[in-house]
Structure 1
Amino acid sequence: MPYQDEFVLFWDQVRESIHDRRFAKLTMAKTIGKPDLKNIFVRPIYSEDGFKVLVKLRYASKETEDEEKELTLEDAFEFLKSHLKTPFSTVLLFTTTKDVTFKINKKGAGTITENVPTFRDVTQAKTDF
């Protein structure tokens, strides 16, 4: 299955984990090539105004400061989708009940695998906005 279609199925699991308050963290990793952007981390922000996420961009270069953005879930989906394959080939969803890994292989096909959970509790992002 093309990775874009598989990523939509993966994102359904992200939505479900948020709805059930099991979403702990999401990480984009395994870059293709040597881009300056090293990782993207997504942490939950549950508030009275609704659910948002804190997206943190971590750079390989020490001269480049990390960036943080507070986004809605749909904006986060579009933002993360734009970083798939170029440069990231792996997205890890950490929930309190399972870890879900989305990978893009060299042929451009996406796969989803599940493992035992890394996190037991949900830790909200701390925002300084």
Structure 2
Amino acid sequence: MSYEPIFALFWERVKQSIEDKTFAKLTLAKTIGDTELKNIYVRPVLLENNLMRMSIIARYKTEEMESFHSLDEAYPILASYMNNPFLSALLFTTDNDVVFKLNKKRTGSISEQAPTFKSASDVILEMKEKGL
């Protein structure tokens, strides 16, 4: 079974956490072997016109590159990094931590753990205050 449908379900959890204002951060981690790309961090940013974008920070061995995308644009970008080189994606929310993992057979699974963060990201909190 391909992992893509499971990752799509994971992405629905990401979107729901933003809608529910519980999103803290999203991280792609656990690379396959020694790669130049070490992590990808995703956080919401609020632009001057109160438009939310996702900041995607790709952390390499020697540099960081940041790009900004809508939530819908971010999905195919992040999905393209799963299984090449990342084996896990961690969604941190104030309700729980949701972990997407690929096993050795590259089958995806989703699990939940107790929340790491007690409050949502600053941008989510600002959006809550502004009623966005």
Is the contact between residue 23 and residue 121 of structure 2 (CA under 8 Å) also seen in structure 1? Answer: no
Tell me, in whole angstroms, the C-alpha distance in 1 between the residues paired with 2:53 and 2:21: 13
- TM-score after normalising by structure 1: 0.88
Q: Identity over aligned residues, as a percent?
A: 46
Instruction: After superposition, give the CA deviation of every residue in 1:44-67 in whole Å (9 maximum; x if it has no partner).
Output: 12454432111111112xxx3211
Q: Which runs of 4+ in 1 moved over 6 A?
A: none
* Structure with the largest fraction of helix: 2
* Structure 1 residue 96 corresponds to structure 2 residue 102: no
SS of the equivalent of 2:89 reads: strand
Aligned ranges 1:75-94 → 2 under 5 Å = 75-94=73-92
- Structure 2 letter corresponding to 1:14: V
Aligned ranges 1:8-87 → 2 under 5 Å = 8-46=8-46, 48-60=49-61, 64-87=62-85
Structure 2 residue runs without a partner (length 5+)? 124-132
State the Cα RMSD in Å.
1.4
Tell me, in whole angstroms, the C-alpha distance in 1 between the residues paired with 2:100 and 2:72: 18
- TM-score after normalising by structure 2: 0.86
